[in-house]
Structure 1
Amino acid sequence: MEQQTINNIAEICHQQEIEKAIISPGSRNAPLTLAFVRHPKIQCFSISDERSAAFIGMGMAQADRKPVALICTSGSAALNYAPAIAEAYFQETPLIVITADRPPEWIDQWDGQTIRQENIYGKHVKKSYNIAVDLSHADAQWQTYRVINEAVLESKTGVQGPVHINIPFREPFYPEKSENWNYDQNVKIIKSIVGEKRLNENQISQLQAELKEKEKIAFVLGQDDYSVEFLQALDQTSQQVNIPIFADVISNGHGLKNAIHLPDSICMSMLKDSKTEVIPDLIISFGKSIISKNLKLFLRKNVKAQWHVRNHHAFISDPFQSLSKQIEAEPISILQHLNKSSSAEFLKLWKDKNTEAETKTNQFLSTQSFSEFSALQDIIKKLPEDSHLHLANSLSVRYANFIGIKQGRIKIWANRGTSGIDGSTSTAIGHAISQKDQNHFLITGDVAFFYDRNAFWHKYPYPNLKIILLNNQGGSIFRMIKGPNQQAELDEFFETEQRLDAKSLCSELGIAHFSAFDAESFETIKDKFMKYPQSAILEIKTDAKINQKIFEDFKKQLIS
């Protein structure tokens, strides 16, 4: 076992700007563990559950905007990374996934902790690499260093995402006490220089000629980690040329002046009868997915032309079935050339509809009995500026989308790459650990919360994270979806009733627990929870059938 070569893998990662590594304990990965933990410039975290560890690493990579290394032992440990890797792939988050493996001669020989690890993540990583088992030859070392450089560069170049490096080890795994321990600071480092992508004058002229034929133009802002500069440029352009910005909750466009931040609510009433004056002639989209199903259906039904603008495209994505141009260029550079004004009446119409939807929402919730929906609106209104709000999947993110965010400097995060319930808490904790000087809030449902309880199974503090737990004793979203709510098996096999609460877990973890079960108890503790100086969980206990009735009545109110 060539420990010096493994040490140099850690050194290359450091020189390629990797500052954090998540390591799950094991024996086969001991050479990697020691190489990274002993490196003076890499901060390492020990997270036992690989499923949670990978999501925590993803949260850190998002927070820092830098790749994070994940290191685990052989066998099923590597498979437990898979959900987070798939999420990171579709969210375009860079991860360096390093799995220790058994030597090739023992694959398929009934040896313990031995599975087929080459290309184990399939098409959910940008690229997979397999390191030679014998690293004693100089050429094998040269190849290893080249591969590590390439893998790290691949993760953060173009469309970012996870890469996989599989390293087989033979025993012994542990160095002798007398063995010299060092890192070669002159190890081979390969840098990448990538220039900006811009359209030429002819291409710009073609776009401007097509724009002249469009009277009603709308921007669609999908989920992405947009720069402040881009959002400012989009805001300015939107105001200059009268273009509304369809910006649902995961877009982070809620602070823009022409943002239509309740498009789901607005489009709910327009799906059956879409009048000509509300239909865009062209939509210009940025980023990735949107969560607003009604907006998506409205655009699919009515819009005939769409330009999608990104720096890099991994594939053609046409979720509105209207894509006519895929523009690969710096989005800000495209905004500079949008000199055709859209209809001022079109902008006013959508802004008026947004105001109407907001008024209806506020009026409706102010007249309802206590529910998780109304409680959540109250909590969201109290979130301090410059906070990070994490939204778990299922009802949490949908409630927030219908409520809307008014504070302009709140940043929204959600695992909408695969949209699974797994890992929402772990991802938020990864953010909170990386950004200790910023406030983080997580809104989650009971199924997602208890599914990911191992997010707390480590020693690293997160006093800047508060969790709002909507506990209705099951996956009550299935009560609100036509189909499962009409089946006799709803209670046991769809909603999956459970009777857990978070009080015992909080006691075990040393986290403050606040509980609300009606309007009076909620009013009593909500401000105490928000002002509490350490990590805390506010558990809002409600009846799933009452929540269902209120949400159904809310949707009727929107289309009335």
Structure 2
Amino acid sequence: MTAPNRNTLWASIFVDELSRAGLRAVCIAPGSRSTPLTLAFAEHPDITVYSLLDERGAAFFALGLALANESPVALVCTSGTAAANFYPTIVEANYAQVPLLVLTTDRPHELRHSGANQTIDQVKMFGDHVRWFVEVAPPEANPPATTLRSLRSLACRALAATQGLPPGPVHLNFPFRKPLEPTLVPGDVPERLADAPWQRPAGQPFTQFSRGQLLPSNQQTRTLAEAIQNAPRGLILCGPRCPGGDFPQAVTRLAQAAGYPILADALSGVRFGRHTVEAEGLIFGGYETFWRPDTLRVESPELMLRFGAMPISAALNDYLASATGCRIVQISGDGLWQDDLQTTTDFIWADPAAVCAMVTEQLQQATPRPNSTGWLAALQQVERQTWQTFAHLRAESFFEGAILADVVELLPEAALLYVASSLPVRHLDQFARPSSANLRVFANRGASGIDGTIASALGAAAAIGQPLTLVIGDLAFYHDLNSLLALRRCGLKATIVLINNNGGGIFHRLPIAKFDPPFTELFVTPHGLDFAPAASIFGLEYSLAADRDTFRRIFAEAMASASSHLIEVPSDAVFHEQMRREMIRRVTEETVKK
């Protein structure tokens, strides 16, 4: 390896080692101080570079890439407020456990706290939201081999830290002096770099990191199997961020062996997929509608097994808060506590799929217990009734929940669906019926902000290489309009369903809705924006769909098209809330009758 100066050498070694350690993508926002890293990434043949114009959009794009790929993505920016624009993404990545390697560049130490332009304090600027922070040593002239070995070791350690328990963002701050460009500086670089003992042969990483699987003990799984044997009335709750891989199949087989239904969050990875076919009616999705004291007239469960984060469903959270007499077992592969209601009675820190598989095997070998088929059958009947009621309601009225159901039904095989926070993800959770459709569903539910949704979704599309469908509200769309430029810059195809209820529709669910003023002006904040020009600016085809037949036709056409589409659906938030409550009322009425 040759280099014209110390900065180029420093950056080239670091980026080369990242590639050896497995990094395959980087998102770069333009800037001067980051020139050494930018050029090193641009020249590396094994790392895909995504060039995004603004730092906030670049960061959320990287988040989507890493979330969908389940592997680290690097993020590069210049100094000053450029780095501060990464902050919302880093907060989301922290709570959503997304592996991001954040590489900020900085002025050298002598320019800090001196009034130098574009210089802020970047040391530990992201606080406890990162798994690890390192102030990288400034590049040296003619560095010894130990220094270069430490740089390679740092690259391997930092990338491994993004994939730790739990995964998350890591921040490295690189101070660079001028020249930032690959200008020749005599004496800056060792003369015989190729013979230096600071790299491994044949592209091997300098330090190879690997992690074993945290398997449960026989005692843990035997105790859990016995608890299931002694509790005929049981539930399995799969919240957001359940493991991927073989977990959906493993938890489905556990449900069959235990005779327990699975309440599968829309973001769990369990509600949709081939495993639902063998589940034989054990995977539920209608609980936000029926799991309420006035609707559900069955005995309380004796045992609950919880996987993943807390569920989206407000009704289910309310029920969990009241389930003080139920044994609740939380099973976590990363050891993180996911229970803001503080109702967990047992915590098993072990690989969830392995726990499911071992407990299933022990249940299959045990003497069959008297089951509670009547209890399970009653729950299955309410689940069926919920979807029958919804079918009638959506045939009568076109409301926001029906839009999400139509989208899920019309998506092609192996589709990518991203949903915005606030109302769209709640609509998906309440109104999308479990199915065998092979869908990949994502949302930013770490900190549940609405910012950066478009960029995140486009990053996921770039990772998967499939056309994207994004369902988003008007405020989230307005918040991230500039990220639509990534469609053209990155050669992506997207269909964006924009549900426009002219403001913050979710506030109609809250008690503050009864207090107007100031409800409309300060909470709903109606904007009256026309979004058609946005489609024109960024090169999307635009359509307006005000009824169900029109929407289904336009959406199906967009799925078959090679172009990106913006489908705007005007909505009345008050009417939607009325329909949501009507759905609950009808299901309650039908359930009480039976």
Do they superpose with TM above 0.5?
yes
Output the amino acid matched with 1:254.
R
Instruction: List gaps (5 residues or longer) in structure 2.
Output: 1-5, 364-368, 590-594
From 401, 411, 416, give the equivalent of 1:383. Answer: 411
1:446 aligned partner: 474
2:79–2:119 CA contact under 8 A, matched in 1: yes
Report deviation, 1:518.
4.0
Report deviation, 1:252.
2.3
Output the amino acid matched with 2:82.
A
1:361 aligned partner: 390
1:29 aligned partner: 34
1:16–1:149 CA contact under 8 A, matched in 2: yes
1:464 aligned partner: 493
CA distance in 2, matches of 1:361, 1:512: 31
Cα 1:375–1:158 change in 2 (3 A) is closer
CA distance in 2, matches of 1:472, 1:202: 54
Matched, 1:403 2:431: yes
1:95 aligned partner: 100
Instruction: List gaps (5 residues or longer) in structure 1.
Output: none
From 244, 254, 273, give the equivalent of 1:227. Answer: 244
Matches within 5 A, 1:79-90: 79-90=84-95
| Aligned-pair identity (%) | 28
From 374, 377, 381, give the equivalent of 2:402. Answer: 374
From 442, 455, 462, give the equivalent of 1:413. Answer: 442
Matched, 1:169 2:198: no
From 110, 122, 128, give the equivalent of 2:133. Answer: 128
Cα 1:390–1:405 change in 2 (3 A) is farther
Is 346-355 or 27-36 further displaced after alignment? 346-355
Cα 1:290–1:462 change in 2 (3 A) is farther
Cα 1:228–1:143 change in 2 (3 A) is closer
Q: C-alpha deviations, 1:370-413, integer Å up to 9, x for none? A: 33333443333222232121110111111112211443212211
Cα 1:486–1:359 change in 2 (3 A) is farther
Matches within 5 A, 1:303-314: 303=324, 304-313=326-335
1:240 aligned partner: 257
1:40 aligned partner: 45
CA distance in 2, matches of 1:147, 1:51: 26
CA RMSD of aligned residues (A): 2.5
Output the amino acid matched with 1:337.
V
From 300, 315, 333, give the equivalent of 2:354. Answer: 333
1:49 aligned partner: 54
Output the amino acid matched with 1:198.
L
Report deviation, 1:99.
0.3
Cα 1:261–1:376 change in 2 (3 A) is closer
CA distance in 2, matches of 1:318, 1:544: 31
Matches within 5 A, 1:508-527: 508-518=537-547, 521-522=550-551, 525-527=554-556
Report deviation, 1:333.
2.1
Matches within 5 A, 1:61-76: 61-76=66-81
1:248–1:262 CA contact under 8 A, matched in 2: no
Matches within 5 A, 1:8-27: 8-27=13-32
CA distance in 1, matches of 2:557, 2:217: 57
From 258, 261, 283, give the equivalent of 2:285. Answer: 261
Report deviation, 1:308.
1.6
Report deviation, 1:212.
3.8
CA distance in 1, matches of 2:295, 2:500: 37
SS at 1:71 equivalent: strand
Report deviation, 1:145.
2.5
Q: C-alpha deviations, 1:324-380, integer Å up to 9, x for none? A: 222122222211224456633332222212111111222222222x33333443333
Matched, 1:298 2:312: no
CA distance in 1, matches of 2:120, 2:153: 26
CA distance in 2, matches of 1:99, 1:194: 28
Cα 1:343–1:111 change in 2 (3 A) is farther
| Count of residue correspondences | 554
Report deviation, 1:4.
0.8
1:392 aligned partner: 420
Cα 1:238–1:504 change in 2 (3 A) is same
Q: C-alpha deviations, 1:175-203, integer Å up to 9, x for none? A: 12799999986386111222222233333
Report deviation, 1:80.
0.8
CA distance in 1, matches of 2:104, 2:42: 16
Q: C-alpha deviations, 1:491-526, integer Å up to 9, x for none? A: 221111112233111111211111113456446634
Cα 1:420–1:46 change in 2 (3 A) is same
Matches within 5 A, 1:500-511: 500-511=529-540
- Per the normalisation by structure 2, the TM-score is 0.87
Cα 1:45–1:523 change in 2 (3 A) is closer
Report deviation, 1:456.
1.6
Cα 1:522–1:153 change in 2 (3 A) is closer
Report deviation, 1:23.
0.4
CA distance in 2, matches of 1:378, 1:193: 43
Matched, 1:324 2:341: no
1:115 aligned partner: 120
Output the amino acid matched with 2:359.
H
Cα 1:195–1:513 change in 2 (3 A) is same
SS at 2:79 equivalent: coil
Output the amino acid matched with 1:86.
V
Cα 1:208–1:374 change in 2 (3 A) is closer
1:134–1:140 CA contact under 8 A, matched in 2: no
CA distance in 2, matches of 1:330, 1:450: 40
Cα 1:36–1:500 change in 2 (3 A) is same
Cα 1:172–1:463 change in 2 (3 A) is closer
Is 217-226 or 507-516 further displaced after alignment? 217-226
Q: C-alpha deviations, 1:47-82, integer Å up to 9, x for none? A: 111111111111111222210000001111111111
Is 27-36 or 379-388 further displaced after alignment? 379-388
Cα 1:296–1:462 change in 2 (3 A) is farther
Cα 1:411–1:218 change in 2 (3 A) is same
1:514–1:529 CA contact under 8 A, matched in 2: no
2:103–2:172 CA contact under 8 A, matched in 1: yes
SS at 2:449 equivalent: coil
SS at 2:567 equivalent: strand
Cα 1:316–1:472 change in 2 (3 A) is closer
1:69–1:96 CA contact under 8 A, matched in 2: yes
CA distance in 2, matches of 1:54, 1:163: 13
CA distance in 1, matches of 2:403, 2:164: 43
Cα 1:78–1:259 change in 2 (3 A) is same
